[in-house]
Chains A and B, each alone.
Chain A
Amino acid sequence: MKKILGRPESMQDVSTIYCPGCGHGIVHRLVCEVIDELGIREKTIAVAPVGCAVLAYQYWKFDTTEAAHGRPPAVATGIKRILPDRIVFTYQGDGDLAAIGTAETVHAANRGENITTIFVNNAVYGMTGGQMAPTTLIGQKTLTTPSGRDPKLAGYPIKISEALAQLDGTTYIERVAVNSPKNILKAKKAIKKAFQVQLENRGFSLVEVLSMCPTAWWVSPEEALKWVEERMLPEFPLGVIKDKVTSNK
């Protein structure tokens, strides 16, 4: 019998602690598949965040480290500048990347560091129990916005990918989602392209992945897929936001 599907080599043979319906498992797997396909497992160094993905090092079968909250781009900068021929990526959530680590994100991007960032946006702080994230939607109820996010008090969902696209240092930025098989395939393509940008020494690449957090959205896993479609997509439209590689061709 021909085996058509298996565990990627870059993935550890363990089960994750993620909640039912969480998108992290899917994104982890996509990253691993891409690393396998590019044959770069033995030269990859990953920087895990603080947040639900803090345990990513348990699930990945390549060298990993874990940064302080918000600092993965700075840590990745240190690694990549010393070892420019290794593949270095950060895996960060919305709070990590677009709140506490905004400065590190913006400046690593602006320096055009030749690293890749996988940015998982689920519009909420999951690990700490469901507080407002910088990407929380207007009206969205969280532990710290009990009557829904009021922009007069708490600002607006931040479109950090669009903001980063304005910087001359960024090369490739795309927003994808993992709420349907079709979107997952597109997400994988984007992640692969982001790593290729790094392999070709073209500079900073980032893929924003809209992902599900049924637990902190107070919905079922099934409803969470719809929640992405109906509530997140209007605010965070999918597609390529910046692509210097293609536009230069």
Chain B
Amino acid sequence: MAKRLMMGNEAIGEGAIQAGCRFYAGYPITPQNELTAYMAKRMPEVNGVFIQSESELAAISMLYGASLVGARTMTSSSSPGISLMQEGISYMAGAELPCVIANIQRGGPGLGNISGAQGDYFQATRGGGHGDYRTLVLAPHSVQEMFHLTREAFDLADRYRSPVIILGDGVLGQMMEPMEIQPPKASLAKGGDPESRIQDPAKKDWILDGCQGREPRSIKSLILGENSLEKHNERLAEKYKEMEKEIRYEAVEIEDAQAILVAFGTSARICKEAMHRARKEGLKVGLIRPITLFPFPKEIILENAPRIKGYLTVEMNLGQMVEDVRLAVSGRCPVHFYGRPAGGFPEVEIIIEKIKEILG
């Protein structure tokens, strides 16, 4: 297949278009602006809707509206804007509405800076807004993956009627590298009119479209009545449990590894480089790269814990995913951490040093 040089932000946009996304609303923020601009250009070409909203609060609420009538919807932002969207994400989780949200993370807290960072791991994987909910979180580590994980994110969002977060960062969003654009999936090409703004409306028997020939429906997150909200939450929890079917990770050379790196996104790219160099020096090191951050690939991490000398979690923050690694390991081997926050990059040499320390 022909390769094409593409920017990460644009690859997300094209992945969304190919998945049948026909509604995008967003507000400018660096370093994800190319994605908004890409959607502004592409949406009219596919009979889709593009709106530059007055705020991120409005953007996510626009998705709430477009999603409840059945459209595949997307917004994107970067860390401060994602904080504002937490209101709507919580409402959509409560009302069980699908959507895809790309967070091209930058450094925080507050206005921070516009460098790529991974400081929003907790926010993304713990729900992020108020209430007892989770969202699926996908972490691409290349432009190619930004394209195909976004494409899949829409299927997942519909399958679980849940918001799905694409957790990227400024480095992945801004970088260009060669990628292959696959043709649209057969299921999407066949199902429904590709010109239509709503993919397979028949499959979504819960949407609002006016109550012609049926009883009126209501889509809401307000749940009243004794124990009703508790039951609703329990049902949501079952759904989050079911999401474990979607767990994805990449394991590189872990079979004989005595030390295993755990990293996602840009950190995982750096770790791959460190791992290859360390292997050349004869060091037995492997890498586990979680692709779904929620649900977290805890099984593979637990499985390998008893036989290795230790894990090294590498992040572009001061230690967030490492908590999930520790939970997965449950004390069966040491878990070390190396992180650089708010725009700092973990260094290959230091990673190799730390691997040597673990291997002793």
Contact = CB atoms under 8 A, between A and B. Distances in A.
A44 B61 CA distance: 19
Nearest to B213: A42
Contacts of A54: 222
A217 interface: no
Given A45-B69, A79-B65, A79-B68, A74 B208 contact: no
B222 A42 contact: no
Interface in B56-111: 57-59, 61-71, 73, 87-88, 91, 95
B219 A65 contact: yes
B87 A78 contact: no
Given A79-B69, A82-B69, A65 B222 contact: no
B183 interface: no
B58 A104 contact: yes
B128 to A, nearest CB: 15
A66 B220 CA distance: 5
A64 B65 CA distance: 11
Nearest to A63: B208
A82 B208 CA distance: 11
B227 interface: no
Given A64-B218, A65-B220, A103-B58, A74 B71 contact: no
A43 interface: yes
A114 B91 CA distance: 24
Given A75-B64, A77-B62, A79-B66, A42 B211 contact: yes
B213 to A, nearest CB: 8
Interface string A95-125: 0000000011011000100000000000000
B308 to A, nearest CB: 47
B61 A63 contact: no
Interface residues of A, number: 37
Given A78-B67, A82-B23, A71 B61 contact: yes
A116 B62 CA distance: 16
A41 interface: yes
A74 B61 contact: yes
A65 B55 CA distance: 21
B211 A78 contact: no
A83 B62 contact: no
Contacts of A87: 210
B51 interface: yes
A82 B221 contact: no
Given A81-B49, A103-B54, A62 B67 contact: no
B179 to A, nearest CB: 30
Nearest to A10: B216
B151 interface: no
Nearest to A104: B58
A219 to B, nearest CB: 29
A86 B210 CA distance: 7
Residue of A47, A61, A63 with most partner-chain B CB within 10 A: A63
A204 interface: no
Contacts of A63: 208-211, 216-218
B65 A68 contact: no
Contacts of B57: 71, 74, 103-104
B23 A78 contact: yes
Nearest to A77: B62
A76 interface: yes
23 contacts: A42-B213, A43-B212, A45-B210, A47-B65, A48-B220, A63-B209, A63-B210, A64-B216, A64-B217, A65-B65, A65-B208, A68-B64, A71-B57, A74-B58, A75-B65, A75-B68, A77-B62, A78-B67, A79-B66, A81-B66, A82-B66, A86-B209, A107-B54
Given A79-B68, A82-B69, 11 more contacts: A44-B210, A63-B210, A65-B68, A65-B219, A65-B220, A78-B62, A78-B68, A81-B23, A82-B23, A82-B198, A107-B58
- The 5 lowest CB-CB distance pairs between A and B, nearest first, are A78-B65, A74-B61, A78-B66, A71-B61, A75-B65
